Amino acid sequence: MEKTGRTMLAKIWDRHVIARLSEDTDLLHIDRHLLHDLGGSRGLLNLKSKGLKVHNPELTFATPDHAISTAHGRAGTSKIGQELLAALRVETSASGIRMFDVDQPGQGIVHVIGPELGLSLPGATIVCGDSHTCTHGGLGALAFGIGSSELTHVLATQALIQRRPKTMRVKFGGRLPLGVTAKDMILALIGHIGAAGGTGYAVEYAGSAIRALPIEGRLTVCNLSIELGAKMGMVAPDEKTFEFLRGRPYAPEGAMWEQAVAAWRELPSDADAVFDREVLIDVEKIIPQVTWGISPEHVIGVDGCIPDPGNVDDPARRAAIETALDYMGLKAGALIAGTPVDWVFIGSCTNSRLSDLRAAAEIARGRKVAAGVKAWVVPGSETIKREAVAEGLDKVFTEAGFEWREPGCSMCLAANGETVAPGQRSVSTSNRNFVGRQGPLARTHLASPASAAAAAIAGAIADVRTMGR
């Protein structure tokens, strides 16, 4: 048999096989397990009820993000949110798990702090009871979300039974036009191949536009892999990756750093590696994206028109568009730009990193949030919050009329009472425009941080390219 090259997925996967359980299913070692307040204490209590102990507490890390309030002083955290936080403290401490608590550097959205602390590393297997764990793939890790049962399995064994996924490579070619961001790249891809386009695949993002992205942008691209249907997304590590990680608290140092980098250089897919599916995207044709419906695949360029179900022949697709427009309160065929908004949310594991806040602040600087619009900025971590304050970004936002808040998941999933009111319209930098995602009957439009800031200023969905500096 002719030997063909190996994909990055195969290289990382094979390195972690403890036992081959069947032709395509393996027991994999898990290098990093991240816990959060919504499922962390439940998993640890579940383990205890089975009479089991955490297999490797030193490879397990915890932080509260989902259920805590992002108001100052964490005022308004629900009673149950406080109980979950208290339980996370007690159970992590009892098991010897490091927890990054509120107001400490290290606390933040779990997918923001992993890379920030250097816990997330190229070639590592990373899991968390949260579907956006694919974010960490931006550093060249094999990272994916798991449910409560698999979470307990990892706590008990530091391993997981997984079926090898199919492989897809998405090459983003060309140079990104001005005003177009990583968020727009991945939204455009989801629009192109659909919200189930990646189901069953591990996706590797490649091409000149991915190479040109800073690490934070790659994390954003990988973050929305799950919205593409893929539970794993990854970008090959390169010099930018190594520079990003060097000196971070949990990254290796000295001779071990050199040894690690040498191993990481071997990870990228071989030139002759064969993927089960290949997709090509020309980024020069991408314009700022905004969603109009109730699935991330319901996305168009900001200069586009809302789809008209009358122009669609397929009855299922027509019905889906009608359902979406009815929920969103939008008129078929109308321009999406100019749609008035009530809320703007800048935050989430998708877009709450320092570069996201800088991009939004650049649009907000010296301008005012439109009358009647409530706009929030929720930094992704305590460290990002402090860095942003040191740069004066908080002032830029508050002077423009945005509310500057404490780090957490906040309005992305509305698990903490931070919701958009029924019927109100939000432009959000988060990842899901599902029915009721930001609160019952809330209407969500996904967009980049710069586009969200532009909507806050304009009071309506707006083309950020007309508001550049």
Give the residue with the Cβ less far from other proteins, 78 or 208.
78
Say whether residue 305 binds other proteins (CB under 8 A).
no
Regarding 436 and contact with other proteins (CB under 8 A), the answer is yes
| 76 binding other proteins? (CB under 8 A) | no
Judged by CB under 8 A, the residue of 5, 21, 285, 326 near other proteins is 21
Question: Per CB under 8 A, does 414 bind other proteins?
Answer: yes
Q: In this complex, which beta carbon is closest to other proteins, that of residue 59 or of residue 332?
A: 59
Neighbouring CB atoms inside 10 A of 49's CB total: 9
Give the shortest CB-347-to-other proteins separation in angstroms: 16
122, 140 contact by CB (below 8 A):
yes
Q: Which of residues 133-172 bind other proteins (CB under 8 A)?
A: 133, 144-150, 152-153, 156-159, 161, 163, 165
CA distances from 294 to 148, 305, 327, 333 (A): 26, 16, 8, 17
**312 contributes a contact to other proteins by CB under 8 A:** no
| Binding flag, residue 111, other proteins (CB under 8 A) | no
Among 35, 69, 81, 138, binds other proteins (CB under 8 A): 81
Under 8 Å between Cβ of 374 and 424: no
Task: Pick the closer one to other proteins by CB: 303 or 322.
Answer: 322
Residues of span 237-296 touching other proteins by CB under 8 A: 250-252, 256-257, 259-260, 263, 294-295
Choose the stretch contacting other proteins; rule: CB under 8 A; options: 204-212, 228-236, 368-376, 456-464: 228-236
Residue 208 interacts with other proteins (CB under 8 A): yes or no: no
Question: Residue 32: which of 62, 61, 52, 53 has the closest Cα?
Answer: 61
Our CA angle for 413, 353, 301, nearest 5°, is: 70
For other proteins, give the closer residue by CB, 130 or 463. 130
Residues 4, 5, 14, 25: which binds other proteins (CB under 8 A)?
Answer: 25
Binds other proteins by CB under 8 A, chosen from 196, 274, 280, 335: 196
CB 326 within 8 A of CB 423: no
User: Would you tell me how many other CB atoms lie within 10 Å of the CB of residue 335?
Assistant: 13
Does residue 222 bind other proteins (CB under 8 A)?
A: no
Q: Which is nearer to other proteins, 207 or 347 (CB)?
A: 347
Q: How far is the CB of 263 from other proteins (least distance, A)?
A: 7
- What is the separation of C-alpha 308 from the centre of its chain, rounded to a whole number of angstroms? 30
Pick from 52, 90, 94, 280: which binds other proteins (CB under 8 A)? Answer: 52
Please identify which residue in 6, 10, 11, 29 interacts with other proteins, judged by CB under 8 A.
29
Residue 174: CB minimum distance to other proteins, A: 29
- Pick between residue 19 and residue 274 the one whose CB is nearest to other proteins: 19
CB of 10 to other proteins, least distance (A): 17
Scanning 6-14, 106-114, 234-242, 437-445 for contacts with other proteins by CB under 8 A, the matching segment is 437-445
CB of 78: closest distance to other proteins in angstroms? Answer: 7
Beta carbon nearer to other proteins, 147 or 338: 147
434 binds other proteins (CB under 8 A): yes
